[in-house]
Amino acid sequence: LSCFRNIIDAIIPIIMLARLQSILQQFPDLDLNRSLLLGLSGGPDSLVLLDLLSRLDYPLSAAHFDHSLRDESGVDAQRVGEIALSRNLPFFLGKGDVRAFSVEESLSIEEAARILRYRFLFSKAREVGAQAVVVAHTADDQVETILMHLLRGTGLSGLKGMDTFSLPNEWSQDIILLRPLLDIWREDVINYCQENDLNPVTDPSNREVTFFRNRLRHELLPYLETFNPAVRRSIWKTARVLKGDDELLERMVEREWSRAIHEKGPGYVSLHLSILKEQPVGLQRRLLRKALAMLRPGLRDISFDMVERGLHRLEGKKTGLLTDLGSGLYIYVEGDIVWVANWEAELPTSRWPQLELSRGRLQEKELHVPGSVQLRNGWEMHAAVMEDINTARKKASQNQDPYTTWLDSFGLQFPLLLRPRKPGDRFQPLGMEGSSIKVSDLMINEKIPKRVRRAWPLVVAGEIIVWVPGLRPAHQFRLLDKTDKVVQLTLKTP
């Protein structure tokens, strides 16, 4: 039996090499002539990966990041460097103050270490022109990561675990993050080390930076094995199935995204409410999550509560209400448009007529007839006398354009004035006989978005509001049979 075991052990390196090759072959983007940068911690996983990669044809270099969290970390780093140099590999050593960084950024030690380590690896990879950073996470690491995500709360993207091939990734748009050992168990890695006389520098049971993960590895997983001895493999298989499912859903999201998106600008993304609402809730959630991820690419996990609050806003009947999503973002429904935005972002107003601002003040402007006035974002108001009364009457009766109107000029005082609304402003729209309505109420009724009401131009003759552009003209200046002179007002959009 021990002889049989010897044979197996001798075969392991061959099998593992073959598996590594078959994994790498799945990614045709990998170029045999471009180099790989290996993250070399000095633990058994990374030593085995070093040994396997040296047997392949890719140009290879290695990098080690000294987290400086233990006294002996410098000595260890030196030994890791010696291993790389003994194999004639270019070696890069990085060092950072993880503790200080964790305090500065209010991060756990683990998270701070991770960020500094990967930043170093990717900056080195860029420097040496490597096509990929290769790290040695195993199937055991995968299972631990998934459990960690589950314990902390996650969705499918967390439960599917890490990807073997990741581009773009958190660190780069063009350098691949490669984890070729995700299908290989730590047990096989340890055997490989023994069989090939690889001597790990660091004790993997002593990863001082990952207290949470250590408890998970040394306490939780053995405990879970008392429920099911094959629990690691069960979780690993689950992750594999979920990865396929997640890919399917992401395809679906990509397909619907181009329909759902309305506009993307600095600090905001807007979506079509009607298109979102026709999707099943799972897809609404993923589309909203995608919008949030565009505004917060750094945020590793867009939280469940953030997305659910957003979904709740979409469900509500009322438009015009803001919902705070946390992390400095809000969601706001305006007619058919859903705005997801930073609190500081200025939402575009170019879809509506707005008076110009000068040193923070809204500009009143005279409008001569004929004549024209410039508004914000390239909008213009034109006024003209229309000689052909019959045509004017016909056009007015058939008009569908809310930004054009015709007024009986009898009683109009020239020049007209374009000004913002004032408190107490009232208006009697065409058809509302004998009474008037507050302009502010009218704007609410007509669903003019709140944020553009203040600078909305009113056309005034003396004290009388003769037109609220976008709405009907004043009843008093409607065209009558006896009308003998007509003024045509038109808002031109850019």
103 binds a copy of itself (CB under 8 A): no
345 binds a copy of itself (CB under 8 A): no
110 binds a copy of itself (CB under 8 A): no
Length of the chain: 494
Q: To the nearest whole angstrom, how small is the minimum distance from the Cβ of residue 114 to a copy of itself?
A: 18
293 binds a copy of itself (CB under 8 A): no
Give dist(CA 368, CA 380) in Å, integer.
13
285 binds a copy of itself (CB under 8 A): yes
H-helix or E-strand spanning residue 441: helix 439-445
Give dist(CA 304, CA 246) in Å, integer.
17
300 binds a copy of itself (CB under 8 A): no
248 binds a copy of itself (CB under 8 A): yes
Tokens of 480: 């009558």
Q: How far is CA 373 from CA 74, 113, 357, 379, 493, in A?
A: 72, 60, 14, 9, 13
Contact string (CB under 8 A) for a copy of itself, positions 173-212, x = contact: ---------------------------------------x
C-beta closer to a copy of itself: residue 252 or 452: 252
Contact string (CB under 8 A) for a copy of itself, positions 464-493, x = contact: ------------------------------
Q: Which of 216, 271, 306, 381 binds a copy of itself (CB under 8 A)?
A: 216
Tell me, by CB under 8 A, how many residues bind a copy of itself.
43
Q: Which of 198, 220, 389, 432 binds a copy of itself (CB under 8 A)?
A: 220
Q: How far does Cα 451 stand from its chain's mean position?
A: 25
Give dist(CA 325, CA 343) in Å, integer.
10
Tokens of 126: 């860029």
Q: To the nearest whole angstrom, how small is the minimum distance from the Cβ of residue 293 to a copy of itself?
A: 15
Cα first-last separation, the chain: 84
Q: How many CB atoms lie within 10 A of CB 259?
A: 13
Query: Where do the H-state alpha helices sit in 174-303?
Result: 186-195, 211-215, 221-225, 231-260, 273-277, 281-295
Q: To the nearest whole angstrom, how small is the minimum distance from the Cβ of residue 285 to a copy of itself?
A: 6
Q: To the nearest whole angstrom, how small is the minimum distance from the Cβ of residue 145 to a copy of itself?
A: 14
Three-state SS letters, 166-184: ECCCCCCCCCEEECCCCCC
Q: Pick out residues in 222-241 that bind a copy of itself (CB under 8 A).
A: 223-224, 227-228, 230-231, 233-235, 237-238, 240-241
Sign of CA dihedral 135, 141, 142, 146: negative
159 binds a copy of itself (CB under 8 A): yes
The single-letter DSSP state of residue 42 is S
Residues pairing with 275 in the sheet: none
355 binds a copy of itself (CB under 8 A): no
127 binds a copy of itself (CB under 8 A): no
Q: To the nearest whole angstrom, how small is the minimum distance from the Cβ of residue 295 to a copy of itself?
A: 20
Q: To the nearest whole angstrom, how small is the minimum distance from the Cβ of residue 241 to a copy of itself?
A: 4
How many secondary structure helices (H) and strands (E) does the chain include?
17, 23
Q: How far is CA 312 from CA 116, 259, 277, 317, 412, in A?
A: 37, 21, 12, 10, 49
Segment interacting with a copy of itself (CB under 8 A) among 150-158, 194-202, 313-321, 453-461: 150-158
Q: Pick out residues in 250-279 that bind a copy of itself (CB under 8 A).
A: 251-252
Q: Which positions lie near a copy of itself, rule CB under 8 A?
A: 150-156, 159, 212, 215-216, 220, 223-224, 227-228, 230-231, 233-235, 237-238, 240-249, 251-252, 280-283, 285-286, 304-305
